[in-house]
Amino acid sequence: MRRSYKFLLRPTSKQAAALTACLEDHRQLYNAALEHRRTAYRKAGVTIRYGDQSAELKHIRADDPDGQGRWSFSSQQATLRRLDKAFAAFFARVKAGRTPGFPRFKGRGWFDTVTWPKDGDGCRWDSQPEHPTATFVRLQGIGHVRVHQHRPVKGRVKTISVKREGRRWYVILACDDVPAKPLPAAGAVAGIDLGVASFVTTSDGAHVANPRHLTATADRLAAAQRDLARKKRGSARRRKAAARVAALHAKVRRQRCDHAHKTANALVAAYDVIVHEDLRITHMTRSARGTIDNPGRNVAAKSGLNRSILDAGWGVFLRVLAHKAESAGRELIAVEPRNTSRTCSRCGHCAAENRLTQAAFQCTACGHSAHADVNAAVNILRAGLALREAAEAA
């Protein structure tokens, strides 16, 4: 398997300044390569590709030894590949008839990652193995940076990336050949229903509370955003206020990710087969504003629901659950979510009137009553097992 490990970096003040300079030079390289492509096509109708720009790197580094020349050649190639992938995605969207979204120039706040494609080429993981208590990563032009390694790294380190999040720096290792950790059979299966009132409800009747991390931080975040709005654009005080807002959002993101990992660990340990809804979260959180000619209805209520869905972090949770299930040898099944909350788990009668309230379900045909989320989880489990049987029969 291929897995990623993310660790906090502990750079010195000089190393932090060097990391910032590294990001800035790679951002300028990205923007210059984008301008090169735009100008060549606009002036001469010539299409510039990755190979052409990679071949020019040698001359760029020679002309600017104290700037571009001090960083890893491979990391600069990775930045050019990043631009090439952006153009490939643009042309794929054009071909598919979707909104194209032409690649944009990267501002200072929109370029936060530098990648070294191969361990040992301009970078080295665990560069000082003789150190008894600490782990270091060596980066060309920056030095040996201390890493807060909170868990062991398995497999073979393939690529190394450095990412800036607010005032923090992280190193991300992409590892190949990571061994699986199969768990012993639990002898149980479950369907799970994701919700806002309860984050997860299982077909066994268990509920996992929704921590609502963003709601808990809303007052502090609103105060920080009001303070930011009062600051003059371009001032040092505005930059500090923006950093405070970013730090609050980053804390919420870390809390949400931590909760997703803990919940997924508990489910994977308890069940051999886990069935969940194949949710289209992007569609579910579309705005209800509509157009000028056809304005939407209940816009404020839909906006609040969208905020609650995004605060719950269903997408992050399902991605983490998939990775942990694969590593533990568990089976994960996604089913069509349509009508799972309206269908009676006892008789199969489907009607909108079956769901009396957010939490109460009572079938209008057979009179079966249950918690609405538990009823939906049972339907999800049943649909998943049916898909499993059909796949085995085929």
The DSSP result for 179-208, as a single string, is PP-PPPP---EEEEEE-SSEEEEETTS-EE
Burial of 183 (0-12, 13-18, 19+ CB in 10 A): middle
Tell me whether residue 181 is in a domain: no
Residues 328 and 364 in one domain: yes
Total domains in the chain come to: 2
Residues 168 and 212 in one domain: no
Same domain, 307 and 338: yes
pLDDT at 297: 76
pLDDT mean across residues, the chain: 93
Count of other CB atoms within 10 angstroms of residue 236? 9
Is residue 193 located within the same domain as residue 172? no
Containing domain of residue 149, as a range? 3-176
Are residues 366 and 228 both part of a single domain?
Answer: yes
Residues 293 and 247 in one domain: yes
pLDDT at 394 over 80: no
Q: What is the pLDDT of residue 14?
A: 97
184 domain residue, yes or no: no
Residues 212 and 242 in one domain: yes
Say how far apart CA 385 and CA 277 lie, in whole Å.
Answer: 13
7-29 tens-digit pLDDT: 999 999 999 999 999 999 999 99
DSSP per-residue letters across 216-280 = HTHHHHHHHHHHHHTSPTT-HHHHHHHHHHHHHHHHHHHHHHHHHHHHHHHHHHH-SEEEEE---
Across 83-96, average pLDDT: 96
Measured at the CA of 393, the angle between CA 389 and CA 394, to 5 degrees, comes to 120
Three-class secondary structure assignment of 71-101? CCHHHHHHHHHHHHHHHHHHHHHHHHCCCCC
Bridge-based pairing state of the strands 273-277 and 189-194: parallel
pLDDT tens digits, 363-373: 999 989 999 99
**Quick check: is 348 in a domain?**
yes
Looking at residue 140, what is its pLDDT? Answer: 96
Percent of the chain with pLDDT over 70: 99
Instruction: Name the DSSP letter for residue 130.
Output: T
Q: Check residue 292 and give its pLDDT.
A: 67
Residues 85, 30: Cα–Cα separation, whole Å: 12
> What share of the chain has pLDDT > 90, as a percent?
84
Residue pLDDT, tens place only, 138-152:
999 999 999 999 999
Q: Are strands 168-176 and 331-335 parallel, antiparallel or unpaired?
A: unpaired
The reply to whether 235 and 358 lie within a common domain is yes
Digit-coded pLDDT (tens) for 195-243: 999 999 999 999 999 999 999 999 999 999 999 999 999 999 999 999 9
List CB contacts of 332: < 8 A, sequence separation 6 or more.
Answer: 273, 274, 275, 276, 321, 322, 325, 326
Q: Are residues 114 and 243 in the same domain?
A: no
- pLDDT at position 205 is 93
Whether residues 309 and 226 share a domain: the answer is: yes
Final residue before a domain boundary, out of 148, 176, 204? 176
Listed residues 176, 207, 232: the one ending a domain: 176
pLDDT in tens, 234-281: 999 999 999 999 999 999 999 999 999 999 999 999 999 999 999 988
Output the pLDDT for position 269.
96
Give the model confidence (pLDDT) of 288-339 as tens digits.
777 667 777 778 888 888 888 899 999 999 999 999 999 999 999 999 999 9
Reference 285, options 307, 316, 267, 263; nearest CA is 307
Q: What is the mean pLDDT of residues 354-376?
A: 90
Quick one: 215 and 165 in the same domain?
no
* Whether 87 and 117 share a structural domain: yes
Domain boundary among 176, 208, 236: 176
> E strand or H helix at 4, and its extent?
strand 3-10
